[in-house]
Amino acid sequence: MSRVPATGAEGYILRSLDGHGQLVFRVYHNHGEFIDYDIDHTELKVKITDEDAYFYGDKILDHAPETLGLEECDHEPDHNGECLKCDEPVWLDEEK
């Protein structure tokens, strides 16, 4: 088995389509070809550079509100990031 340092590698963390939903690290190569690496690392440092990634509440990382079709809510979020009045995820425009 070959061993190559992964430092600086760029790719995507996604759920595999094998029916188990396991997370894999996908690295794309020429002509749309890719390799899915099983993630066995126990505490891998990650830097998110995707502008479409947003945290919701304390435990959810998902697409941006606009991508998900969410509308802005002025209500107070609970500890899960959901509105106490309308039960929808809350996102706040930081420019206000």
**Residue 73 domain flag:** yes
Report for 18-22, 29-33, 68-72, 92-96: range of highest mean pLDDT: 29-33
User: Among candidates 20, 62, 63, 60, which has minimal Cα distance to 38?
Assistant: 20
6 Cβ contact partners less than 8 Å away, ≥ 6 residues apart: none
Q: Tens digit of pLDDT for each residue in 27-60?
A: 999 998 999 999 999 999 999 999 999 998 788 8
Residue 16 lies in a domain: yes
Shortest CA distance to 46 belongs to which of 61, 30, 28?
61
In this prediction, residue 80 carries a pLDDT of 66
In a domain, 56, yes or no: yes
Count of domains observed in the chain: 2
Is residue 4 one of the residues assigned to a domain? no
46 phi-psi bin (left φ>0, alpha ψ -120 to 50, beta other)? beta
In this prediction, residue 69 carries a pLDDT of 83
Predicted TM-score of the model (pTM): 0.66
Q: Which residues pair with 12 in a beta bridge?
A: 26
